[in-house]
């Protein structure tokens, strides 16, 4: 199956993407500050939420900062074991060219076995092309991100002329019409904190998958997000990380608390989809 086909299948029952951003400083109880517990923490989250999720999104920096790449490999293997049908998106935001991009693609798709990876397009199509050689995998290109600083570049018109498209709009257009070799192979990252921009991206890229972070701790509205981005033939993943991960205050209550937040978020997304 292509990545797009796997994503379509997974999003039929849920739109929720559970982000895995394990910060030992925020771990509950006796695990707090213990980086050796990263795998245990993530496995507990996976156990509690995999039947509610459409995908998991491990953020590589949280593992690499602790020298825990081996734990990341085992976490991904564990997801494959308990929820083999769910896509795994490696949140790496890579953005290099040539042989270096080829190595980053190998890291994401061969070493870690991810189904998709997040990329920065700042250096152009060269940064994306090596990943497309993996025909059964996907990429999510940063388009309109959820952080306020995204305005610095993403909202700027391409020329100082009235009516010119803004950078994020041109990225959306290219993802729809020019870049993908296989339909659905290239998706876009659009923040839930900007529902008007989600709607604009969807208008410009009607069949492109969207990865939408920002629901939960960042304050994005689940209903507005789904109404702006969801289409029956264009899957979306709505990501929540911190709100789910750190709901529990004890090791014993970690799973139950995470599940409660995930269940509530998944229900909100399902209601919005109708």
Which residues are known to be catalytic? 93
C-beta separation of 57 from 10 below 8 A: no
For 17, counting Cβ atoms within 10 Å of its Cβ (0-12 exposed, 13-18 middle, 19+ buried), the class is buried
C-beta separation of 254 from 41 below 8 A: yes
Q: Cα–Cα distance between 89 and 86 in angstroms, integer?
A: 10
Query: How far out from the chain centre does Cα 163 lie?
Result: 31
DSSP string, 96-161: --HHHHHHHHHIIIIIS--SEEEE--TT-GGGTGGGGGSTT-EEEEEEE-SSGGGHHHHTSBSSSS
Tokens found for residue 150: 């995204």
| 28 Cβ contact partners less than 8 Å away, ≥ 6 residues apart | 246, 248, 249, 250, 251, 253, 254
């Amino acid at each position: 199956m292509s990545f797009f086909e796997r994503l379509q299948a997974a999003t039929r029952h849920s739109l929720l993407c559970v982000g895995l951003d394990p910060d030992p400083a925020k771990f509950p109880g006796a695990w707090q500050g213990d980086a050796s517990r990263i795998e245990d923490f993530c496995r507990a989250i996976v156990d509690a939420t995999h039947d509610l999720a459409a995908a998991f999104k491990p953020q590589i920096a949280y593992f690499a900062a602790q020298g825990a790449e081996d734990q990341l490999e085992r976490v991904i293997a564990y997801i494959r074991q308990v929820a083999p049908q769910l896509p795994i998106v490696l949140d790496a935001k890579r953005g290099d060219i040539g042989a270096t991009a080829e190595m980053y693609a190998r890291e994401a798709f061969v070493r870690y076995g991810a189904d998709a990876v997040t990329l920065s397009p700042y250096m152009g199509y060269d940064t994306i092309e090596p990943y497309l050689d993996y025909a059964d995998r996907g990429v999510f290109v940063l388009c309109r991100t959820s952080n306020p600083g995204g305005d610095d570049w993403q909202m700027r018109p391409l020329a100082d002329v009235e009516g010119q498209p803004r950078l994020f709009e041109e990225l959306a257009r290219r993802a729809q019409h020019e870049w993908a070799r296989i339909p659905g192979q290239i998706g876009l990252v659009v923040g839930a904190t900007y529902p008007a921009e989600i709607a604009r991206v969807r208008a410009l890229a009607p069949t492109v998958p969207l990865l939408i972070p920002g629901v939960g701790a960042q304050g994005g509205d689940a209903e507005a997000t789904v109404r702006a981005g969801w289409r029956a033939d264009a899957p979306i993943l709505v990501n929540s990380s911190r709100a789910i991960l750190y709901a529990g205050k004890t090791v014993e209550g970690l799973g139950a608390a995470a599940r409660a937040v995930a269940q509530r978020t998944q229900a909100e997304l399902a209601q919005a989809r109708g």
